[in-house]
Amino acid sequence: MTRIEATAQAIESRIGARARQVTALPGELAIEVAPEQWLAVCQELRDAPELAFEQLIDLSGIDYLDYGRSEWTTEAATSSGFSRGAERDAPRPEIDGPRFAVVCHLLSVSRNTRLRVRCRCLPGDPPMVDSVTGIWTSANWYEREAFDLFGILFRDHPDLRRILTDYGFIGHPFRKDFPLIGNVEVRYDPALGRVVYEPVSIVPRVTVPKVIRKDRARVAPGSDGNV
């Protein structure tokens, strides 16, 4: 039995139906926990001797608003060697469950195992989930970052305030409904003698990256392959 299989078996035995295993890359293990079981399961993941995930390596937010939606109509090259961007007004796929989630990356130093744990936030606005700072103190700054960039509230966090954006910043930059160009632009007004904020004048557009063809080495120069 591999280390990953042994860890999955220990989680199944200890946590049971309170967690379900989700798809992960080969050699990795990931589980999902309901928000009402979030703190209790995290506590057991740390304290159970057969699990012993003593260290939280990372915590991040996830926005599933445009999950599964691509801005590109094809992965193949056109006659000019570039792909074509899709229309930004294309219908969005249905979101399976709450829009926001939190993911923790855990490490067991004593057992040399890693685990990814996902928890969907409670439905509603703003999205909310319990803070795990009482279990892993390293979550403090990570939760502040997720709050700042995604607008996720962590209940009972000791000091939940912005950590990356400027004072007075409005909005959450990593939300998929937040414009990449921002909401305001800054310029110096010589008449007023100060910096002023105005609505952005840039028009957003889909950029067109170059496609690297996988079969490039097999296409002769000057042929129909457009090399």
Q: Percentage of residues in the chain with pLDDT exceeding 70?
A: 78
Tens digit of each residue's pLDDT (9 = 90 or more) over 26-65: 889 999 999 999 999 999 999 999 999 999 999 999 999 8
In a 13 Å sphere around the CA of 209, the CA atoms on its Cβ side amount to 9
Tell me the domain boundaries of the chain. Answer: 3-218
Are 128 and 122 within 8 A, CB to CB?
yes
Fold classified for 3-218: Beta Polymerase; domain 2 (3.30.460)
Tens digit of each residue's pLDDT (9 = 90 or more) over 67-78: 876 655 555 555
Q: What's residue 227's pLDDT?
A: 43
What's the whole-number average pLDDT of the chain?
A: 84
Is this structure's pTM higher than 0.95?
Answer: no
For the cut 60, the answer to whether the pLDDT of residue 162 exceeds it is yes
For the cut 90, the answer to whether the pLDDT of residue 12 exceeds it is yes
